[in-house]
Amino acid sequence: MTSPITTPASAPSRPPVPPSGTSPVPPPAAASARRARRHARRRELGACGALMTPFFILLVTVFLIPVGTALWLSFFGADQPGLGFGPERTVFVGLRGYTAVLTDPTFLGGLGTVVLYCLIYIPLMVTGALALALLLDSGVVRLRSWAQLGLFLPHAVPGIIAAVIWLYLYTPGLSPVIDLLAGADITVDFLGVHTVLPSIVNIALWSNLGYNMVVFYAALQAVPREVIEASVVDGAGPVRTALQVKAPLVRSSIVMVAMFTLIFALQLFTEPMLLSQATPMIGSRFSPSMYIYDAAFTRNNYGLAAAASVVLLVCTIALSYGVTHWSNRVGAPEEDTR
Amino acid sequence: MSAVSGRTAAARRPRLLGRAVVNLVVGISVLYTLLPVLWLVLAASKDRDALFGSDVLSLDHFSFAQNLKDLFTMDGGLYGRWYGNSLLYAVLGAALGAMVSIACGYAFDKYRFAHKEKLFALVLAAVMVPQTVLALPLYLMASGTGLVNTFWSVFVPVLFNPFGVYLGRIFSRGYVPDEVLEAARLDGAGELAAYFRVALRMLGPGLVTVFLFQLTAIWNNFFLPMVMLSDQHLYPVSLGLYTWNSAAVVSPEYYPVVIMGSLLAVLPLILAFALLQRFWKSGLTAGAVK
């Protein structure tokens, strides 16, 4: 950014002086240089535009217009004159769509489910992945790169297939896990009323633990060795070094992982959608995303689906903002590790 | 002398215990992540009776080849079709998407223009927006333009990868020194030539990282195809296996093929991660540091 040789640090506002002469009237060489510079600037902007245009075409067509459409749709509803026998008309309903969504117990239930899911899943994920990364970074683990590879493997398993695998491991008659537990006189219904949510948490945890561990591990590798040596010299044991020196130093990675985990957790769809084929405990409106899908493509109520989408979007933005705000405020390293 | 060694031995004993505990915890975690995959491999090689007898560990009822044959002949060989579709969506989409995102991230890093940071904030905000929010409007737009239930309806939206732009900017800052571009300009290379001939080569690891991110995302993609596609011949593997799995509830002959199909669907990503390991590891480090 700033090259230390040429930039005069003291005078940022002074216009650049041509180094050749000090005369107030610019010589013709300087004028042509300025023209050349302006020409170069235009070429730069042209290249910049060319490099950015493909992405921004996508941004507009598959992001801005859809978001705008969702907002627009959320204020409209289908009106069926003549007891639903006449042709459907789309009419402006104002905030009625939002009222319908926010007073719909199935939507609120789904929102509650996802919040509960986040409360179980995110702390488990972040502490689990960080703990594993710290253990692997401690230098006492044997076959470290093999362990990493093993932990990372589920990341290569698509979400729907992870759900298929675990569904079979949850299904009595198919599952060796249930047989094993039955051998020890333990009967667990993994798809029961109280167990279905933890079962979904388990699938997500299994899929993403290794990936996040690798992110943390990469960040830990970048911690300067002198810092760790200094803490060892100060007499801190390996556990204290890990929790009070290393973990606070990878804070930005922790926040990033927590943030992405949150954003994806709020979209919960694939796992419950697949499990719903096997258990009546998961209805068609189990999570907000499933509610939106159900409203849009089963009930064909676009206004309702759009309103629910906007509510989900607002929740996502608010919670993400909350996380960043909270992480900025919690600056003390001690509070950060736990 | 002996007092010193006695003390270190005493100090080492808890260390040794700690070492054992650490290895045990990591070992159990590795078993947790590996065993379900191992189950998938074993279950894929068993016939239906063995599957329902839960004796996947025994060597009887071995029918790997039969299951493989069943998989590719079931429903007129749909699975092969799905596999091809997924490869097309994912490889082509990720390659194109990564190029687009990296180019944009590079431009964000190397050029100055008005409202740059505001524009970048918009890109970052796009990372947060759930797929489910965009799905209905995208579906309506696609049906308005007659693109619904076509290759394009699934292919185009997945090219959009705002996180790739974010990574592209970081990689560009880390890997492409301004001096190199300056040198290229002095040599008379145009701006775009400098990008394609000089910068892009330095951005290699970043490009691979974004490519892999996007490959994984597209290969996993399930919601969008489910909304857009009704023609089974256009399905990606994920959606195809989902429909077969729902069919298995009533006709159990689908169970072995779903399991075998799942096993095969895992392979491309493992292969991609293994082959490109050298690149994405360095890419991930750069992404995690800043």
Q: What is the pLDDT of residues A225-251, one digit of tens each?
A: 888 888 878 877 777 888 888 888 888
In angstroms, rounded to a whole number, what is the distance separating the alpha carbons of residues B237 and B222? 9
- In this prediction, residues B161-190 reach a mean pLDDT of 88
User: How many CB pairs lie under 8 A apart between chains A and B?
Assistant: 266
The answer on A218 and A327 residing in a single domain is yes
The answer on A66 and A190 residing in a single domain is no
User: With 60 as the cut, is the pLDDT of residue B54 above it?
Assistant: no
- CB within 8 Å: B30 and A147: yes
pLDDT confidence tier of residue B67, bands split at 50, 70 and 90: confident
Answer yes or no: is A86 within a domain. Answer: no
pLDDT in tens, A96-116: 889 888 999 999 999 999 999
Answer yes or no: is A122 within a domain. Answer: yes
The answer on A242 and A297 residing in a single domain is yes
Q: Does B279 touch chain A (CB under 8 A)?
A: no
In DSSP terms, which residues pair with A92 in a beta bridge? A76
How confident is the model at residue A60, as a pLDDT?
A: 94
Q: How is residue A14 written in tokens? A: 């002074």
In angstroms, rounded to a whole number, what is the distance separating the alpha carbons of residues B178 and B180? 5
Domain that holds residue A45: 36-73
Burial of A134 (0-12, 13-18, 19+ CB in 10 A): buried
What is the ipTM for the molecules in this complex?
0.84
The answer on A104 and A68 residing in a single domain is no
How confident is the model at residue B75, as a pLDDT?
A: 83
Cβ-nearest to A165 among B39, B101, B269: B39
Contact B284, A214 (CB under 8 A): yes
In angstroms, rounded to a whole number, what is the distance separating the alpha carbons of residues A164 and B259? 8
Q: Which residue of B has its CA nearest to A256?
A: B288
Answer yes or no: is A84 within a domain. Answer: no
Answer yes or no: is A224 within a domain. Answer: yes
pLDDT confidence tier of residue A79, bands split at 50, 70 and 90: low
Answer yes or no: is A25 within a domain. Answer: no
Residues 102-141 of A with CB under 8 A from B: 131-132, 135-136, 138, 140-141
pLDDT in tens, A112-154: 999 999 999 999 999 999 999 999 888 777 788 888 888 988 9
Residues 84-113 of B with CB under 8 A from A: 100-101, 103-104, 106-108, 110-111, 113
Longest dimension (CA), chain A: 97
CA dihedral A157, A159, A160, A162 (to 10 degrees): 60
- CB within 8 Å: B33 and A69: no
The answer on A52 and A141 residing in a single domain is no
In angstroms, rounded to a whole number, what is the distance separating the alpha carbons of residues A294 and A290? 6
Q: Which of A33-42, A43-52, A91-100 has the highest mean pLDDT?
A: A43-52
Contact A176, B57 (CB under 8 A): yes
- In this prediction, residues B135-159 reach a mean pLDDT of 92
Q: Does A284 touch chain B (CB under 8 A)?
A: no
Helix (H, G, I), strand (E, B) or coil at A135: helix
The answer on A55 and A201 residing in a single domain is no
The answer on A102 and A66 residing in a single domain is no
pLDDT confidence tier of residue B183, bands split at 50, 70 and 90: confident
Answer yes or no: is A64 within a domain. Answer: yes
The answer on A199 and A280 residing in a single domain is yes
User: Any idea where the domains of chain B sit in the sequence?
Assistant: 2-65, 66-289
- CB within 8 Å: B132 and A293: yes
**Counted domains in chain A:** 2
Cβ-nearest to B160 among A63, A238, A305: A63
pLDDT in tens, B265-284: 999 988 888 888 777 766 66
Contact A166, B36 (CB under 8 A): yes
Instruction: Chain B: give the shortest CA distance to residue A222, in Å.
Output: 7
The answer on A326 and A201 residing in a single domain is yes
| Residues of A whose CB is below 8 A from B111 | 44-45, 47-48
The answer on A261 and A147 residing in a single domain is yes
How confident is the model at residue A15, as a pLDDT?
A: 43
The answer on A172 and A140 residing in a single domain is yes
The answer on A47 and A129 residing in a single domain is no
Q: Which of A182-186, B86-90, B104-108 has the lowest mean pLDDT?
A: A182-186
Domain spanning B66-289: CATH superfamily? MetI-like (1.10.3720.10)
How confident is the model at residue B73, as a pLDDT?
A: 84
In angstroms, rounded to a whole number, what is the distance separating the alpha carbons of residues A73 and A244? 50
- CB within 8 Å: B135 and A56: no
Instruction: Chain B: give the shortest CA distance to residue A193, in Å.
Output: 20
The CA-atom distances, in angstroms, between A51 and each of A10, A287, B159, B165, B191 are: 35, 39, 15, 12, 10
In angstroms, rounded to a whole number, what is the distance separating the alpha carbons of residues B264 and B276? 19
Contact A158, A269 (CB under 8 A): no
